Amino acid sequence: MKAYIYKKTLLITGKSYIGQHNGKNINYYGSGVDWKKDIKKYNINWKKDIITEILEYVDDISKLDEREEYWLKHYDVVNNPLFYNKTNKPFGPITHSDETISILKDKLCGKKREGEALENLQKGHKKRVLNIDGEKISKAKKGHECYRNPERADKIRKANLGKKDTEETKKKKSQAHLGKSTKPKKQIKEYDLEQNYIQTWNSVNELILYYKENNLGFDYTTFLKKQKENKPYKNRYWL
């Protein structure tokens, strides 16, 4: 499939989004922040709620940015309230040709960091302090009495061995957590392969629990990767 410049219109809001497509990823629907926000907000049905127009097919993939910029300026999207685009400049997906990607891989293969880059890397991997047993501890705990006095540390460990909190202690711990702010859980919206809305999960934890309880298998890392790439996982799209 050829690369092209598209204009997608969200019928619910009447606003459009102009972008570029390299012709390879059929599941790419645009990367505009406000565009994606409204798609999630209105539980979009891709076949019924969005109109897609091909503004131009582009034979030379290296010209995608140039042609996208032409259409952005043509509609003057930065000053047009009917568009989600925030600028007349193209900021689309990576559009390197296969040849360019191969050249970049060859250049980076086996490349070693030197000078300032190597120094910054080393700073990020500072050696951690070891206690008497050779276990790693953070520098923040280096001065703690348990590390300076291993006999006292052993005494405390034995004293707490098998010890359970009393009801009073449990109550104090519970009260200590009252009023503490917690990060709101992000809802997950589920769509089928035809982009039809199915349901909303209160959190990714709820989703994982459901799959595990029904022995359906669920890999969180793969799920996040597919969600980020806007690709299906478990025959579903997740937004």
Q: CATH code at 41?
A: 3.40.1440.10
pLDDT digits (tens, 9 = 90+) for 5-24: 999 999 999 999 999 998 88
Q: Which domain holds residue 202?
A: 188-238
127 falls within a domain: no
pLDDT digits (tens, 9 = 90+) for 102-120: 777 776 676 666 777 667 6
108 falls within a domain: no
CB neighbour list of residue 173: distance below 8 Å, 6 or more residues apart: 165
94 falls within a domain: yes
21 falls within a domain: yes
Confidence bin at 138 (pLDDT 50/70/90): low
Q: Count Cα atoms within 13 angstroms, Cβ side, for 137.
A: 16
11 falls within a domain: yes
Q: End of a domain among 75, 100, 125?
A: 100
Q: End of a domain among 100, 126, 142?
A: 100
45 falls within a domain: yes
Element (H, E) at 236: none
Instruction: Report whether pLDDT(199) > 70.
Output: yes
239 vs 149, more confident: 239
Q: Cα–Cα distances in Å, from 16 out to 85, 91, 157, 195? A: 8, 16, 64, 19
Long-range contacts of 196-199 (CB under 8 A, 24+ apart): 196/45, 196/47, 197/43, 197/44, 197/45, 198/236
38 falls within a domain: yes
- How many domains is the chain built from? 2
176 falls within a domain: no
Q: End of a domain among 52, 77, 100?
A: 100
